[in-house]
């Protein structure tokens, strides 16, 4: 059996790891302290900063909720299933699944990182993860606009090149530790 490059064995994935690192909590605390001190000092632009932070939080919270749902759902999928369908030995079937999933995926790419990391710990190969990430360049809702501006032949060839490149990059990343 191949050892996990992260040194995490079966059932030990991130066990006991705190949700937030000490440094990130310190940075958050210092930022909030600075905001409060500026508010108390009567700095005129602080209300704009509070509004910006609030808007950013409202935008990020739904993404975080989706990430948590994916991660919770990922815990329900058995390791053997993931390895069989997306592991190193899954072959072209795994690449086709990664291409399809990457093309259909929506939202900011950073929202997918925790979920993909969990799948990696369950045995998904780096090649399939790379294929998924590269295939995200194809956005199905935008294909019609591309065809309108550049024509159908250009759109088909361009999309085929992106997906072919995603597949090639996935194959190249297969042996990256």
pLDDT digits (tens, 9 = 90+) for 98-136: 999 899 888 788 888 888 888 888 888 899 999 999 999
Task: Give the number of other CB atoms < 10 A from CB of residue 57.
Answer: 10
Q: What is the mean pLDDT of residues 8-21?
A: 54
Q: What angle do helix axes 152-173 and 91-104 make, rounded to 10 degrees?
A: 130
Domain end point (choices 43, 61, 76) = 76
Lowest mean pLDDT among 11-20, 44-53, 104-113, 131-140: 11-20
The predicted pLDDT at position 60 comes to: 81
Q: Are residues 102 and 171 in the same domain?
A: yes
Return d(Cα 107, Cα 46) in angstroms, integer: 30
Taking CA atoms, 74 is separated from 57, 102, 139, in Å, by: 25, 16, 24
Return d(Cα 171, Cα 153) in angstroms, integer: 27
Range of the domain at 31: 18-76
Beta carbons within 8 Å of 20's beta carbon, 6+ residues apart: 28
Residue 66 has pLDDT above 50, yes or no: yes
Q: Are residues 63 and 113 in the same domain?
A: no
Q: Residue 3 falls within a domain, yes or no? A: no
Apex CA 127: angle with CA 133 and CA 98, to 5°? 55
Q: Are residues 99 and 71 in the same domain?
A: no
Q: What is the pTM of this model?
A: 0.60
Q: Residue 40 falls within a domain, yes or no? A: yes
């Amino acid at each position: 059996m191949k050892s996990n490059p992260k040194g995490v064995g079966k059932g030990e994935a991130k066990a006991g790891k705190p949700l937030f690192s000490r440094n990130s909590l310190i940075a958050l605390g210092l930022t909030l302290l600075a905001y409060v001190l500026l508010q108390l000092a009567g700095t005129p632009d602080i209300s704009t900063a509070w509004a910006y932070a609030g808007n950013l939080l409202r935008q990020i919270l739904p993404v975080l909720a989706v990430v948590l749902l994916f991660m919770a759902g990922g815990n329900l999928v058995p390791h053997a299933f993931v390895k069989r369908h997306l592991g190193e030995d899954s072959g072209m079937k795994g690449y086709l699944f990664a291409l399809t999933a990457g093309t259909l995926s929506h939202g900011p790419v950073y929202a997918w990182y925790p979920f993909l990391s969990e799948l990696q710990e369950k045995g998904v190969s780096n090649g399939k993860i790379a294929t998924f990430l590269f295939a995200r360049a194809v956005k199905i809702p935008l294909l019609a606009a591309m065809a309108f501006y550049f024509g159908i032949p250009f759109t088909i060839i361009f999309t085929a090149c992106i997906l072919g490149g995603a597949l090639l990059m996935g194959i190249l990343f297969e042996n990256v530790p």
